[in-house]
């Protein structure tokens, strides 16, 4: 089978880039924009879930058959518009669940035990001048999970040995042993730690807003490993500034990469650069599935993990 040229949007880790380059004739957006003949031949787009694919780009590619993203999120791809044009959209679900859940636990512990601050305290020599401030235990905490999908359930499974109480909010009650809240504000009021692990998109934009943060309260903490759009960052900054919540740990942001944000000025905030799935093992597995989705569309007309 002769594959048409493939448009790459965004950057991949070096090992993943090599793998993709061995399978496809990759082209950049600049090359495609400069060459009408090339643009007319592009058959696929490969990308990561933190890059935007807009309707205008899809409309300019008459031979496009698939947009394959390496990631679980697809809120930055116009799925309905692609479907109207006969373009398949695929993602890479399940493969990153464990890695994201692991990072969630790490962020939570880093926040509760003030690990970034402790690292700076030790390196600076401040330890020689006195004791480090006390942190908080995870054991005994009430942890609310906003979005009990695949990743939410993996987080819950990893939390159980820590002797915590778990409850959740979602679109519907599931057959789980954890208490269910139909209102996210009520869940926040119950929680010591609130974890956002729901999908992004219009339905969840600013789901975690000022009212939710007020309900979480001055001793409550927020962890977001979902999408930056899920949390109203302006409201979060205000809540942190007036000590309306105790702290936050964030792996995703409304605007990425994060730059010149007030969030960087708070000691009670732990920040990581959208690395939920960023392990060698996970990214390679995701890339393989992304490649297989593209090949499957051109070989059989159907993707493997199609976004419905």
Residue 177: the pLDDT is 96
Helices 97-112 and 280-300, interaxial angle, to 10°?
150
Q: Work out the pLDDT band at 15, boundaries 50, 70, 90.
A: very high
Q: Is the pLDDT confidence value at 74 over 90?
A: yes
Q: For 97-135, b where at least 16 C-beta lie within 10 A, e where not — what string?
A: bbbbbbbbbebbebbbbbebbeeebeeeeeeeeeeeeee
Q: Region 53-58: what's the mean pLDDT? A: 97
* Averaged pLDDT, 240-257: 97
- Per-residue pLDDT at 2: 84
**What number is the average pLDDT over the span 151-167?**
98
Q: Residue 233 is encoded by which pair of tokens?
A: 């960052």
Q: What is the pTM of this model?
A: 0.90
Report pLDDT for 135.
Answer: 97
In this predicted model, what pLDDT tens digit does every residue of 209-243 receive, in sequence order? 999 999 999 999 999 999 999 999 999 999 999 99
The rounded mean pLDDT for the chain is 97
- Local confidence band at 308 (pLDDT 50, 70, 90 cut-offs): confident
Whole-number Å distance between alpha carbons of 118 and 111: 11
CA-based nearest residue to 282, from 115, 77, 48, 10: 48
Average pLDDT value for residue range 294-304: 97
Active-site residues, by number, are 227, 256, 274
Where do the domains of the chain lie, and which CATH numbers do they carry?
6-93+280-300 (3.40.50.720), 97-271 (3.40.50.720)
Q: Which residues contact 138 (CB under 8 A, 6 or more apart)?
A: 108, 109, 112, 162, 164
Query: What does the alpha-carbon distance between residue 140 and residue 298 come to, in Å, rounded to a whole number?
Result: 52
Concatenate the DSSP letters of all residues of 43-94 into one string: -EEEEETTS---HHHHHT-TT--EEEEESS--TTS-HHHHHHTT-EEE---S
Instruction: Give the Cα-Cα-Cα angle 294, 65, 274 (nearest 5 degrees).
Output: 55
pLDDT in tens, 75-86: 999 999 999 999
Average pLDDT value for residue range 197-209: 96
- Confidence at residue 173, expressed as pLDDT on a 0 to 100 scale: 96
What is the layout of strands, in order, in the sheet containing 193-196? Answer: 180-181, 165-169, 142-146, 193-196, 221-224, 247-250, 269-271
pLDDT class of 50 with cuts at 50, 70, 90: confident
How do residues 271-293 score in pLDDT, each as one tens digit? 999 999 999 999 999 999 999 99
């Amino acid at each position: 089978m002769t594959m048409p040229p493939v448009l790459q949007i965004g950057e991949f880790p070096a090992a993943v880039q090599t793998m993709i380059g061995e399978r496809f004739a990759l082209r950049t957006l600049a090359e495609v924009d400069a060459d009408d003949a090339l643009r007319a031949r592009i058959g696929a787009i490969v990308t990561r879930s933190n890059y935007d694919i807009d309707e205008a780009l899809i409309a300019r590619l008459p031979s496009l058959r698939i947009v394959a993203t390496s990631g679980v999120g697809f809120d930055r791809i116009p799925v309905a518009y692609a479907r109207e044009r006969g373009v398949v959209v695929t993602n890479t679900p399940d493969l990153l669940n464990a890695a994201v859940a692991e990072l969630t636990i790490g962020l939570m512990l880093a926040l509760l035990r003030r690990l970034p601050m402790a690292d700076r305290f030790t390196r600076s020599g401040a330890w020689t001048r006195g004791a480090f401030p006390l942190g908080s235990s995870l054991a005994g905490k009430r942890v609310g999970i906003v979005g009990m999908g695949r990743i939410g359930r993996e987080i819950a499974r990893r939390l159980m040995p820590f002797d915590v109480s778990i409850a959740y909010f979602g679109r519907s009650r599931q057959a789980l042993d954890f208490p269910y809240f139909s209102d996210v504000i009520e869940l926040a009021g119950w929680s010591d730690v609130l974890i956002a692990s729901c999908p992004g998109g219009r339905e969840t934009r600013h789901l975690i807003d000022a009212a939710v943060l007020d309900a979480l309260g001055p001793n409550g903490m927020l962890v977001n490993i979902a999408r930056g759009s899920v949390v109203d960052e302006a409201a979060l900054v205000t809540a942190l500034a007036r000590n309306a919540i105790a702290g936050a740990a964030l792996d995703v942001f409304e605007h990425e990469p994060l730059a010149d944000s007030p969030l960087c000025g708070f000691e009670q905030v732990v920040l990581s650069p959208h690395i939920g799935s960023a392990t060698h093992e996970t990214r390679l597995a995701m890339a393989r599935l992304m490649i297989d989705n593209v090949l499957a569309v051109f070989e059989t007309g159907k993707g493997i993990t199609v976004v419905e």
